[in-house]
Amino acid sequence: MYCPHCGADEMKVLETRESEMTNSIRRRRECLACGRRFTSYESIKQPPITVLKKSGKREPFRSEKIKASLDLALRKRPISQEAIAIAQKEMEKEIFFRASDRGHIESKTIGEIILSHLKELDGAAYVRFASVYFSFSDVKAFISFIENMPEKGSL
């Protein structure tokens, strides 16, 4: 790392903080050559993951799709954006963990991960997501799913 002010490569770290929302580390640094201070951010570069679709098609994993699914399922629900961001981060951690040894993950597994986290976060969002994920053929299948759900205290 080089000082953005003078280009020197020797500095000391004054303060380090973890950022929960962005999954990065913030460091406050001081250049030993010019004495000026600046902030740097460090994050782990995740290897690319391929998603295996039901159709056999492969596509790169995109976290925007997780965010869009969560936004849709949690629309008009009393869940803060911070809680949604934390849930998304946890889901992505689990996805990367499960795909880490193979470099790919099935879309079905991603759906199951999202379902399990939504079940803990909000029951109504869980049912919304499940209705799309399981593609209920009729109202009876949907009602049967809801009747077989765990009670609110277990969600």
Give residue 87's pLDDT. Answer: 93
Give residue 60's pLDDT. Answer: 94
Give residue 20's pLDDT. Answer: 62
- What is the C-alpha R_g of the chain? 21
Sequence-distant (6+) residues with CB within 8 A of 14 are 28, 29, 30, 37
Number of domains present in the structure of the chain: 2
Domain-located, residue 3? no
pLDDT tens digits for range 106-138: 999 999 999 999 999 998 999 899 888 888 888
Q: Which residues of the chain have pLDDT under 50?
A: 153-155
Give residue 155's pLDDT. Answer: 44
Residues 22, 25, 26, CA angle at the centre, nearest 5°?
100
Give residue 149's pLDDT. Answer: 77
Give residue 107's pLDDT. Answer: 94
Position 83: which residue type?
A
Give residue 131's pLDDT. Answer: 86
- 60 and 131 fall within a common domain: yes
Domain that holds residue 38: 11-43
Domain-located, residue 4? no
Give residue 154's pLDDT. Answer: 44
Give residue 150's pLDDT. Answer: 67
- 107 and 72 fall within a common domain: yes
